Structure 1
Amino acid sequence: MPIQYNDQLNLIKDILSEHQSECCGTVAECEQLERVVKSLMANTSTDQQTKAILENIYTYSQSGKNSTSLNQHIQSHQNELSQWIQDIDTFS
């Protein structure tokens, strides 16, 4: 059973919040971000502004999972993480 739109946004927000507060994460979390973002991008009710932010999160997760140091990748994106979390709060 697929999770609902707002639940998907909350899942993304939860993972990003954990990355921001802990300054660390896992490849599995990056892969989960990718799957949920892809699902939201395919959703016809997702507006263009939301899609633009989701594209940035997708790029972040792809770069993170392919990074030689995921924790360093997360630390270097602290400002973006904060912004994305605030943006998601405005969507839901």
Structure 2
Amino acid sequence: MPLSHQDQVNLLTDILSNHQLDCCGSVSECEQLERLVKSLMDNNNVNENIKTVLQEIYEYSRHGIQSSDLDRYIESNQERLAQWVNNMNQLS
């Protein structure tokens, strides 16, 4: 059973929050972020204003997957993570 739009937003926000709070994460989490963002971007019910944020999160996940030091990469994006979590919370 596929996740609803709201479930996808909640999961996306949870992963971003964990990266922000824990300052660490895994490649599989970045891959999950990438899949969630792709699905949300393809959803016509998603507000166009949030698609810019989703594109930024997609780029973050792509760079995270390719990073040789993922924890350092996550730490260097703390400010962006906080902003994205805030944006996603406003969406839900």
Give the TM-score taking structure 2 as reference length: 0.98
Corresponding residue pairs, total? 92
Aligned to 2:86: 86
Distance 1:44 1:50 in 2: 12
Equivalence map 1:1-92=2 (5 Å): 1-92=1-92
* Residues 18-66 of structure 1, C-alpha deviations (whole Å, 9 max, x = no match): 0011100000000000001000000011121111100000000000010
Runs (5+) with no aligned partner, structure 1:
none
Rounded Cα–Cα distance in structure 1 between residues aligned with 2:19 and 2:90: 20
Alpha-carbon distance in 2 for matches of 1:13, 1:38: 15
Regions of 4+ moved over 3 Å: none
**5+ unaligned residues in a row in structure 2: which ranges?**
none
Q: CA RMSD in A?
A: 0.5
Identity of paired residues, percent?
Answer: 49
